[in-house]
Amino acid sequence: MSWAGEILIGLLMAIGLVGVLLPVLPGLFLIGAAAVAWAVAEGTASAWVVAAAMLAVLATGTYLKYQVPGREFAAQKVPALTWTLVGVGGVIGFFVVPLVGSLVGVVAGAYVGELIRFRSHGSAWASAKRVLRSIGKGIGLEFAAGLVAIALWLGAVVVT
């Protein structure tokens, strides 16, 4: 593959990594698609091994993104209404306030859900912060998986 092609693949992966933090793009999916495109362009067995390893890391990251916060939500006994309000708040915020609206909506959804549950500002805010930390852990795990996958690709590009 030409250096220009590798730069394009690297840019797509970087955009995917940004997509993990700003839910505008399907982050890990974009990184995986770029990995497969790179393996197709390279056409070597070693490129396919690297792409397969990347896909395994990305799949594990996606699994952990949901599993870790889900376990913490269950341990905190977070009701389905709060989960729903977090999701709805994130979607509404995304469309109302560009770029940061999703984050604002998630925070508002978590707080409102927990306020309905506890009927007290102090308890609701404390619980909402725990919910948000759990969500943050999931995003952190997803981001780490993206970084590891990109590092595998960079290593393969440098070696070849």
DSSP 11-29: HHHHHHHHHHHSTTS-HHH
Residue 160 CB partners (closer than 8 Å, separation 6+) = 42, 44, 46, 47
Domains contained in the chain, number:
1
In angstroms and rounded to an integer, the radius of gyration of the C-alpha atoms of the chain is 19
Determine the structural domain holding residue 29 and report its residue range.
Answer: 3-159
Per-residue CA distances from 83 to 71, 88, 107, 135 (Å): 13, 9, 11, 11
Could you read off the pLDDT tens digit of each residue along the chain, which spans 160 residues?
A: 789 999 999 999 999 999 998 877 789 999 999 999 999 999 999 999 999 999 999 999 999 999 999 999 899 999 999 999 999 999 999 899 877 888 899 999 999 999 999 999 999 999 999 999 999 999 999 999 999 999 999 999 999 8
Q: How many CA atoms lie within 13 A of 138 on its CB side?
A: 18
